[in-house]
């Protein structure tokens, strides 16, 4: 990875701005702190966008899709063909994330990062195919260093071409919970058994087989210790593309709304390389996939929702989007005590 230039993501900390926004919220017609996490969410959004009057506009859902060579080992309950079939479903408007994006006015872009099939070009589909799926990580690195860099650059380039100031992260790739579990285990120094779940629906015996395979993969790539070395070793193309997307969105001070286990794995890699990206990230939910809670804890992230979701696609991010809009509108449209002619509590008035 020596020829890859790491983005310089700056510290956004602005205590004066945070205090100013909190003061505006405290003057709204409500008891102090009574809107709970919505208040802290408003402060976070204002901090990311660098203004006490933030306006969210043209939210973008980026669904990155790719196949995984390790899937041939039986680490998923579904065959690899489901990856390209679900990409078709996204584009036809029939997937959960398609429905939710339509409901909330979110622009949906699907990126072919490495699907093991040629896809027909059409609006809404971006071709960034690095290869027809990653290699089997049990036999060698899932990606070469060059392929990993190419995927990250692709992610940066795609985000550069998107409008708006909100980026939602989604993904599709049969076998990608294995990559996420491997990245969590390696980068956070955890046992792979604690990081590995049922994915698309493995039974208990299937999970045990998956853990055994992933343990072998970790041993096979014992020397891949840095974030980008681990990413290349374990895959996948969609995760690497999302890493680049996160970096670019962070550079542009977009609000980054993270979905579940896989997209959080991309943020984990991005943050290990450039810690200040976390200042731009809001975490939509705590996934039902085992390992996600550990990943959120490692990132010191507080999820907005906890609904037992484990679909992926960006579905949780789409469901959390109205909370961001509510926080924005509370800050901009809710009346102050003075403007509404409402008496404050003695504590607030003091």
* Predicted pLDDT at 4: 75
* Predicted pLDDT at 2: 56
* Residues β-bridged to residue 282: 257
Phi/psi region, residue 235 (left: phi>0; alpha: psi -120 to 50; beta: rest), is left
Task: Show the tokens assigned to 35.
Answer: 């809107």
Mean pLDDT for back-to-back runs of 10 residues, the chain (350 residues): 79 98 97 97 98 98 98 93 98 98 98 98 98 98 98 98 98 97 98 93 93 97 98 98 98 98 98 98 96 98 96 97 98 94 74
Query: What are the residue numbers of the active site?
Result: 313
What span, in angstroms and rounded, lies between the C-alpha atoms of 26 and 350? Answer: 12
Nearest to 290 by CA among 216, 213, 210: 210
What is the DSSP-derived secondary structure letter of residue 344? Answer: P
Distance of CA 64 to the CA centre of its chain: 11
Domains (ranges, CATH) in the chain?
Answer: 15-55+329-349 (1.10.1610.10), 60-323 (3.40.50.10210)
* Predicted pLDDT at 328: 98
Q: pLDDT by residue (tens digit) across 219-258?
A: 999 999 999 999 999 999 999 999 999 999 999 999 999 9
Q: Using an 8 Å Cβ cutoff, are 116 and 102 in contact?
A: no
Q: Give the CA distances from residue 50 to residues 17, 163, 165, 274, in Å, rounded to whole numbers and listed in that order.
A: 8, 18, 12, 19
Is the pTM for the entire model greater than 0.85? yes
* Predicted pLDDT at 6: 84
Q: pLDDT by residue (tens digit) across 91-104?
A: 999 999 999 999 99
What span, in angstroms and rounded, lies between the C-alpha atoms of 259 and 284? Answer: 5
* Predicted pLDDT at 149: 98
Q: Give the CA distances from residue 173 to residues 39, 43, 64, 135, 289, in Å, rounded to whole numbers and listed in that order.
A: 35, 34, 8, 14, 15
């Amino acid at each position: 990875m020596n020829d890859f230039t790491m983005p310089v993501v700056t510290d956004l900390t602005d205590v004066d701005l945070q205090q100013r926004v909190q003061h505006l919220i405290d003057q709204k017609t409500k008891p102090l702190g009574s809107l709970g996490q919505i208040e802290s969410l408003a402060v976070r959004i204002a901090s990311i966008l660098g203004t006490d009057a933030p306006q969210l506009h043209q939210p973008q859902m980026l669904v990155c899709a790719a196949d995984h060579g390790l899937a041939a080992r039986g680490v998923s309950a579904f065959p690899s063909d489901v990856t390209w079939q679900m990409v078709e479903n996204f584009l036809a408007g029939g997937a959960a994330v398609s429905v939710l994006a339509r409901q909330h006015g979110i622009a949906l872009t699907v990126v072919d990062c490495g699907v093991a099939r040629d896809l027909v070009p059409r609006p809404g589909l971006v071709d960034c195919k690095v290869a027809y799926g990653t290699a089997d990580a049990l036999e060698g690195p899932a990606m070469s260093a060059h392929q990993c860099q190419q995927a990250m650059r692709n992610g940066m380039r795609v985000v550069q071409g998107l409008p708006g100031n909100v980026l939602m992260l989604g993904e599709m790739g049969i076998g990608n919970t294995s990559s996420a579990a491997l990245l969590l285990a390696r980068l956070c120094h955890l046992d792979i058994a604690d990081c590995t779940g049922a994915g698309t629906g493995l039974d208990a015996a299937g999970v045990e087989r998956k853990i055994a395979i992933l343990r072998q993969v970790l041993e096979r790539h014992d020397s891949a210790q840095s974030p980008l070395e681990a990413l290349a070793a374990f895959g996948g193309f969609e995760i690497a593309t999302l890493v680049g997307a996160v970096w670019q969105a962070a550079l542009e001070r977009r609000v980054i709304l993270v979905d579940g286990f896989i997209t959080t794995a991309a943020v984990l890699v991005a943050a290990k390389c450039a810690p200040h990206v976390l200042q731009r990230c809001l975490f939509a939910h705590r996934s039902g996939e085992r390992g996600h809670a550990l990943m959120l804890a490692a990132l010191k992230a507080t999820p907005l929702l906890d609904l037992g979701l484990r679909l992926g696609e960006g579905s949780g991010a789409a469901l959390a989007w109205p909370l961001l809009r509510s926080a924005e509108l509370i800050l901009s449209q809710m009346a102050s005590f003075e403007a509404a002619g409402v008496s404050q509590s003695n504590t607030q008035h003091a």
